[in-house]
Amino acid sequence: MAAPRSPGRQRERPRAAAAGSDQVHSWTLVPSQALDTAWRIAKGSVMMAVSLLVATLCYFRRLQLYLGHRLKWWIGYLQRKFKRNLSVEAEVDLLSYCAREWKGETPHAKLMRKAYEDLFWRHHIKCVRQVKRDNYDALRSVLFQIFSQGLSFPSWMKEKDIVKLPEKLLFSQGCNWIQQYSFGPEKYTGSNVFGKLRKCVELLKTQWTEFSGIKDYHKRGSMCNILFSDAILEYKLYEALKFIMLYQVTEVYEQMKTNKIIPSLFRLLFSRETSSDPLSFMMNHLNSVGDTCGLEQIDMFILGYSLEVKIKVFRLFKFNSRDFAMCYPEEPLPEWPEISLLTENDRHYHIPVF
């Protein structure tokens, strides 16, 4: 018969089981705590990385917006600067230009539209180049076409060194009043006038020689775009043209004093009280050109005569009248080349393109 188990042994077994259970729990608890700690560290690192990435993206986004804004500003500034200096714009369709500029239903707007349509269909003018509106625009329109077409010097310029003309007026013809010549907005330059005029005329001679020697039409066009974007050079060229006009008036006046036959346009010029001689012509008319006014009609005659070109002007506000198309001078020599202008008011001029 088996002996009964003692109570002590029975109590030892639950203790051993409990000890084993605690040991197992401690083995599972340590990895769990380690994983939890690792997760918190990883989670913190990920959150920090995400925050840093978001901050970096926001920074670059703001930087992109700032740089884009600055780039847009500089592009606009350069475009405005270039456009401001571009005195002869690119060709645009004639009828499109008319439709944009004359939209109203007033009698004058209707007259302008009919005049532009007549230029397009009857005179075969397809495009127009807008010219900067200032008090030099008639001179600008004429000189641009002389250079872009590569026209040669007038015959009288080939026989004389035009750079020496300012001194010639003073020393050979005693025109000391030339010191009162005004350079556009400038009023009086005194004894320095001869040096300034010489530089202006020398620039005109150099540029004219260069353009007339270029045979390629597209190259002349590219060079014109560069030249007529430089306001300082333009200013000097137009003052040179004004002086050439004054020189011709003085020459014809000297011929008239010796009872030589002179062109009728000069007889008309000298018959006016405000231009009875070269000095009054300069003081009352020419000095204001480029400053407070542009060329008058009689000035256009003198300009065409001086440069030996036939300037044909379509005066749109005179449509359906005998004065719609005018030539300056009225009786040019057959060998003189022809250039064309159009005007809506006899004050501002544009360049038609056939």
Per the CB < 8 A criterion, the answer to whether 341 and 143 are in contact is no
Torsion of CA 120, 121, 126, 131, to 10 degrees: -20
Q: Could you tell me the two tokens for 271? A: 């018959």
Q: Report the pLDDT value the prediction gives residue 29, as an integer from 0 to 100.
A: 61
- What pLDDT was estimated at residue 79? 55
- In the prediction, which pLDDT does 68 show? 75
Q: How many other β-carbons are positioned within 10 Å of the β-carbon of residue 146?
A: 20
Q: 3-state class of 213 per DSSP?
A: coil
Per the CB < 8 A criterion, the answer to whether 241 and 203 are in contact is: no
Per residue, the 3-state secondary structure of 82-102, as one string, reads HHHHCCEEEEEEHHHHHHHHC
The upper half-sphere exposure of residue 194, i.e. CA atoms within 13 Å in the direction of its Cβ, equals 12
DSSP, collapsed to helix, strand or coil, labels residue 200 as helix
Q: What is the DSSP letter of 202?
A: H
pTM to 2 decimal places: 0.76
- Alpha helices by DSSP H, the chain: 7-85, 94-101, 107-121, 137-148, 155-159, 165-167, 193-212, 217-227, 231-257, 264-271, 278-284, 297-307
- Specify the amino acid at residue 89: E
pLDDT at position 198: 93
pLDDT per residue rounded down to tens, the chain (354 residues)? 444 545 555 454 555 445 455 555 555 666 667 677 777 777 777 788 777 888 888 888 888 888 877 776 776 556 555 555 689 999 999 999 999 999 989 999 999 999 999 999 999 999 999 999 999 999 999 999 999 999 999 999 998 899 999 888 877 777 889 889 999 887 666 678 888 999 999 999 999 999 999 999 999 999 999 999 999 999 999 999 999 999 999 999 999 999 999 999 999 999 999 999 999 999 999 999 999 999 999 999 999 999 999 999 999 999 999 999 999 998 888 899 999 999 999 999 999 999
Angle, in degrees to the nearest 10, between helices 107-121 and 94-101: 180
Q: What is the pLDDT of residue 62?
A: 81
Q: Quick one: pLDDT at residue 57?
A: 82
Spatial distance between the Cα atoms of 232 and 291, rounded to a whole number of angstroms: 15
Predicted confidence at residue 2, as pLDDT, reads 47
Asked whether 118 and 317 are in contact (CB, 8 A), the reply is no
What CA–CA distance (Å, rounded) separates 68 from 109?
43
Question: Could you give phi then psi for residue 205, rounded to 5 degrees?
Answer: -65, -45
Tokens for 15, please give them.
Answer: 């203790």
- As to burial, measured by CB atoms within 10 angstroms (0-12 exposed, 13-18 middle, 19+ buried), residue 16 is exposed
pLDDT of 1 = 46
Query: Chain centroid to CA 171: how far?
Result: 40
Residue 117: Cβ within 10 Å count: 14
pLDDT of residue 186: 79
Cβ burial of 138 (10 Å; 0-12, 13-18, 19+) is buried
